[in-house]
Structure 1
Amino acid sequence: MLSPKLSPILRQYIIVIGATLSILSPGFSLGWGSPVLVKLMKVENSTEMILSKPITTEEGSWLVSIVSLISMFAIVLIPLANVIGRKYCIVLSCLPNIIAGLIFVFSDKFWLVLFGRGLCGVSIGLLFPIISVYSAEISDKEIRGTLCSFIQIICALGCVTMFIVGPFISYISLNVLYTCITIVSSIPSLFIPRSPYFLYSKGRIQESLQVLTMLRGSEELAKEEIEQYSLYKRENEIEISKKIYKEKTFWKAIFISLTLAILSQCSGYNSVSFYLLTVLESTETSISPGIASAVVGGIQLFGACITACIVDKFGRKMILFSSFIGIALGMCGLGTFFKIKETQEIHGILNFLPIISIIFVIFSFIAGPASILFTLAAELFDRPAKTVGTSIAILVNMLFMFLAIKYSGIITSYVGLVWSYWMYSCISVLSCLFVIIFIPETKGKSFAEIQDKLKTGKSKMSFHVVTIRS
């Protein structure tokens, strides 16, 4: 139990970080393909026997994309969070990643490694939505955006570790590190409190009140929040499950969440990030791919940290708009580089255009859609629909992630590198328009206020004006 001397805000930070550390392993999984595919495809690597034979390009694409494919099917297990609770779902969701790590260390068969990657997808499909909901239910509305952004910070930390360490150590050593860190990062989730809303929904009102009092620092504030829960409870007694799908606000939240997820995955980030070393090698520049991936990994972590610091000051809308502009510029830069490369040899400062463009894309995506999507999904849906709505949004996100990873190469082969990157740039510009017109600002608003804003339809929308308090 946390010391009563700690401030309520600090308690919330500690609890959410403890739960979110479980995302470190999915971060490893998402960054795994960049350094590992190069190792698994090398025929001449006689000093270290990895698999029984080198993998093909097609097999490599499956190793990368199967994570998002399986995570879609894993999402059907999310209603379990309403049965055993968010905490124990988080704990159980860590187990597939641990098993996957052991498979990577001891297996030399491609199909077993592919199976292990599928297990990684199970963990990702469960952990992201459940921790998003848990963090939103634990947090005060004033710091909800910051605490929900920790998911992307921890995930980015896992990716950074892969990018920095992966190219420079052996395949076995990398996966031993993966397994050990997965086990250690899962331990704090055993000690976090249960969700107060879940406890209340199961009739354990006194336990819910105790958790809320610890989180809010005052029994009076805790009772006020319990009173809000009681409104949802009364709704549940009048067949809320049927009523909720007829409400305009639910479908509005679905439309916003799903469209944002689709546009984010179609922005081209995955074709750059998951095949980072391959992209850099295709530029034939003088930049070392290993060094470049380490730098990009650091930028990725920096972007996630920046968002956590500013999301509750500038709001979700402004960050999303600025981020899509950054992605558009980065993709335009990559397309321009390959267009120039078609007609002349690259010299001087133009050698740095690809890495600068890639940094723009990765920083902007991580600071914007990647960090805000899960926060926004957890905020837009009313409490009774939160797990269902968030699950649908993340399912669609994972579906389009799979399609983007698996078929980006096919798109590029048809239209060429230049036009594929310019196409991604145009999609990002369209995403900016969607943000301006449709996405409401949820910063500093209670869940009831957000639902009211969705009902009135007046969210369309001036950018949030930042006020600085002395």
Structure 2
Amino acid sequence: MDSERRRLLDAESGDETPAGLISEQDAYLSKVKNAKLYLATFASVLGPMSFGFVLGYSSPAIPELTRISDPRLRLDDVQASWFGSIVTLGAAAGGLVGGWMVGRIGRKLSLMLCALPFVCGFTMIIAAQNILMLYVGRVLTGMASGVTSLVVPLYISEMAHEKVRGTLGSCVQLMVVLGILLVYFLGLFMDWRWLAICCSVPPTLMMVLMCFMPETPRFLLSQGKRREAEEALRFLRGPDAPVEWECARMEDASDSQGTSFHISDLKDPGVYKPLIIGVMLMVFQQMTGINAIMFYAENIFEQAHFEESDLASVIVGLIQVVFTAVAALIMDKAGRKILLIISGVAMTISTVALGVYFHLMSKLGSAVTDSTSVTAEQPDLSWLALASMAVFISGFAIGWGPIPWLIMSEIFPAKARGFASAMVVLSNWGMAFVVTKTFQDMLMSLTSAGTFWLFSSTCVVNILFTVFFIPETKGKTLEQIEAIFRGTSGP
């Protein structure tokens, strides 16, 4: 934005001093109405709910598919492992496709189109006549999950203003864990085919509702559509907000940065620094072991000697929903960094305790095996497994669950947002595949205790990484966050 336009904007507000820009921003936000912003957010987060269904589907479905009478569909241990983990390969590919789509056709249309592989994938599972069809269905739903996990955080961060961006961005993970909880709960009453039918409902509803939602103003500005960007802002901010001011601020940052991304831009610290942070956040998130725990929740509880392991999985899902909701409510007050640290500490303690539980159980089992007579009752340590799992899930939900996705949507400059987000999502789902596919192997080679102690050591690294490398983004505009990495003052 040129100096004349800046002068006119300041003159309209009656303040031409730089300090006045802060009060002008507060005055603008005081006129904003958030009702339609919340509506657009709800429509978009039906996508994360859909891939929550995808993530959770394997937990109730795998035990049933391993016992099914039809030999064409019966899974052995290796096939069950692939059924649980192959979705992450599809999601990694979907992340790459999503990075291309958001830059070419926009955030809104990308989100609408990703509903198709969701529905097609679950339809393939419903109609499955052999194991290959089950695999193809999981890959398709995985691809849709990868696109969704990239597009929705970007869509929300580019729509929301800084006062509510943390809360709305946290709704992405909230809807993921709500989807997991719902599929666990429905799995108590439905067989795997009817469960797949239910899983196809949220993406269908998302595609319908998104028809009535706007494209993000920042993407429209990058396409030179100033009038459409103002109309989108007017829809999102309400009729009383002077959206020309916000649009001009976005346009100013866009003009100074440029709109097209080139590989040579990776030399720019404003690009490579946030990219490294985004990738490492996702790698560390998966190295906590969360996806392994959620994919095999029932198996873990069976090994912990819970008779109602499927009900225990529902309890875990409920805990995750509650604490993710808490994180969403306090995100814009507490800040991202402190919640990541609290989350890391909670997960470290809980995984150490889980390791202790399995270690004690193995010692007790050996003692009983070696002894010819048992003179005393074995102590019941199942409470330790339940408490440790509850602390781990609540700790993850309040920090390392929602915040990496939120930070990913905040830290990248506009011109690199598609490419960088694709790399981050690829890192997340690629690491998710490695962890979930090798989880059973780790249990065999390291024992259950050793596996959870390995996860606890990575949680310690997470805490150190957060303390030394993660910037606080609470209360800052996307343009101000970009300026932090460029080493300049924000607009």
For normalisation by structure 2, the TM-score amounts to 0.86
1:400 maps onto 2:431 in alignment:
yes
1:439 maps onto 2:487 in alignment:
no
- The aligned counterpart of 2:195 is 174
Moved more, 76-85 or 182-191: 182-191
Q: How far is the alpha carbon of 1:395 from its aligned partner? A: 0.9
- The aligned counterpart of 2:168 is 147
Q: How far is the alpha carbon of 1:253 from its aligned partner? A: 0.5
Q: How far is the alpha carbon of 1:53 from its aligned partner? A: 4.4
1:19 maps onto 2:50 in alignment:
no
- Contact 1:272-1:358 at 8 Å conserved across structures: no
- The aligned counterpart of 1:302 is 322
SS at match of 1:127: helix
- The aligned counterpart of 1:39 is 64
User: What per-residue deviation string (whole Å, max 9, x for no partner) do you get for residues 224-267 of structure 1?
Assistant: 22223333443465865366322112111111111111111111
Could you tell me how far apart the structure 2 residues matched to 1:53 and 1:74 are? 26
1:391 maps onto 2:422 in alignment:
yes
1:52 maps onto 2:78 in alignment:
no
Alignment of 1:36-185 (within 5 A): 36-42=61-67, 45-46=68-69, 49=70, 52-78=72-98, 79-185=100-206
Letter in 1 for 2:197: V
1:415 maps onto 2:473 in alignment:
no
- The aligned counterpart of 2:25 is none
SS at match of 2:187: helix
- The aligned counterpart of 1:217 is 238
Letter in 1 for 2:279: L
Letter in 1 for 2:292: S
- The aligned counterpart of 2:355 is 335
* Change beyond 3 A, Cα 1:207–1:456: closer
1:453 maps onto 2:484 in alignment:
yes
For normalisation by structure 1, the TM-score amounts to 0.90
Could you tell me how far apart the structure 2 residues matched to 1:52 and 1:392 are? 37
Letter in 2 for 1:201: S
Structure 1 gaps of 5+ residues are: 1-5, 459-470
- Contact 2:56-2:183 at 8 Å conserved across structures: yes
Could you tell me how far apart the structure 1 residues matched to 2:478 and 2:252 are? 12
Could you tell me how far apart the structure 1 residues matched to 2:379 and 2:488 are? 52
Could you tell me how far apart the structure 2 residues matched to 1:237 and 1:351 are? 58
User: What per-residue deviation string (whole Å, max 9, x for no partner) do you get for residues 381-402 of structure 1?
Assistant: 1111122212211110111001
Alignment of 1:271-350 (within 5 A): 271-285=292-306, 287-344=307-364, 350=381
Root mean square deviation, CA, Å:
2.2
Letter in 1 for 2:116: L
Q: How far is the alpha carbon of 1:22 from its aligned partner? A: 2.2
User: What per-residue deviation string (whole Å, max 9, x for no partner) do you get for residues 108-144 of structure 1?
Assistant: 2100010000001110111111111110010011110
- Contact 1:232-1:384 at 8 Å conserved across structures: no
Structure 2 gaps of 5+ residues are: 1-30, 366-376
- Contact 1:24-1:185 at 8 Å conserved across structures: no
Could you tell me how far apart the structure 1 residues matched to 2:260 and 2:452 are? 49
- Contact 1:22-1:189 at 8 Å conserved across structures: no
Could you tell me how far apart the structure 1 residues matched to 2:468 and 2:55 are? 32
| Structure index of larger Rg | 2
